[in-house]
Every structure is written in structure tokens, then in C-alpha cells.
Amino acid sequence: AAALGQIERQFGKGAVMRMGDHERQGIPAISTGSLGLDIALGIGGLPKGRIVEIYGPESSGKTTLTLSVIAEAQKNGATCAFVDAEHALDPEYAGKLGVNVDDLLVSQPDTGEQALEITDMLVRSNAVDVIIVDSVAALVPKAEIEGEMGDMHVGLQARLMSQALRKITGNIKNANCL
């Protein structure tokens, strides 16, 4: 109890609290467009205010799933953005999945840094509800693009991602963006 009092004095009321003292609030979610997946996720879709990574082998449906999420979000009036680091977005296919391609914000950045900076700016604008970055593997650091073939760029992408995620995570929570 003394420690809790000290923490509250130093950091303010509410810095530490018992979870049972507050009413539990449901996490707002955006449907994936797949009832089975929404049920399996336990909250009816992907959580807003969080970063979600969809992982899987090549051609396993990751982009299709993200486009389905965009279509569902747009049906509910959401503004969505697609950061196409792979430069492979097919508007015709997206449209067939229900995406309103005329309203979709699209960026095809040249470097990983540019992609993540654009993403952060979109999040901080509070004007976008869903942002898809396709894909992490395609986020090539500027130094690697400008370097020679065969140059060693050990850990550049990992550093880029960890720095960006530290920066973007809080902003996404504040913007209640997915």
C-alpha cells in the first residue's frame, strides 16, 4: 500500500490501479469479413487502437484478408489507407473483394523509412481508421536501396521496424486506429 501511495504521488492518480475497481470495457473491433475468424479472434474482428501483424507464407491470403478488413471497415464509413510497399496492389481484385477503391488512400513509397513515416503521419492525422502496410518484408531501408549489390546491411530492417513500432504504437492507441 505504501508503494502504491508513493507511485500515485510521483506519477499521479491512476498510474496504478486494480483492474477489478473499474468496469471492463469491450475492445472495439473491425470485422475481418470472415465470421469464423471473427469468432476465433474472440472480439469480433481485429482490435482498434492496436498494431496487428498478419504472418504467413507467401500467397497464403494475407493481403486478401487485409483487403477484406478494409471492405468491412468502409461499409461502416471508415477511412482506410493501404501503404503498398510491395507495389503490387491490384485495384480490380480489391474491388471484387468489396473495397471501394475510389475512396481508398494508397501510397507506394520508395523506401522503408518513407513508408513508416507516411504511416505515422496518417495515424497522427486522426483522419484514417485503418492503415495496412503490405508488407514488412518489402520495407527496404534507404541505405540498402542506395548501396551496392552484396553490401552487408546487417540488422538495418530490424532496427527500422523496432524504432518505428516504438514511435507508432502510442499514436495508434491515441487515434484508435487499426
- Enumerate residues 6+ apart whose C-beta is below 8 A from 37: 65
Checking DSSP bridges between strand 105-107 and strand 130-134, what pairing results, if any?
Answer: unpaired
pLDDT exceeds cutoff 70 at 132? yes
Q: Where are the domains of the chain?
A: 25-175
Supply the pTM of this predicted model: 0.82
**3-class SS string, 61-73:** CHHHHHHHHHHHH
Q: What is the pLDDT of residues 8-60, one digit of tens each?
A: 889 888 888 887 777 767 889 999 999 999 999 999 999 999 999 999 998 89
Q: Which fold has domain 25-175?
A: Rossmann fold (3.40.50)
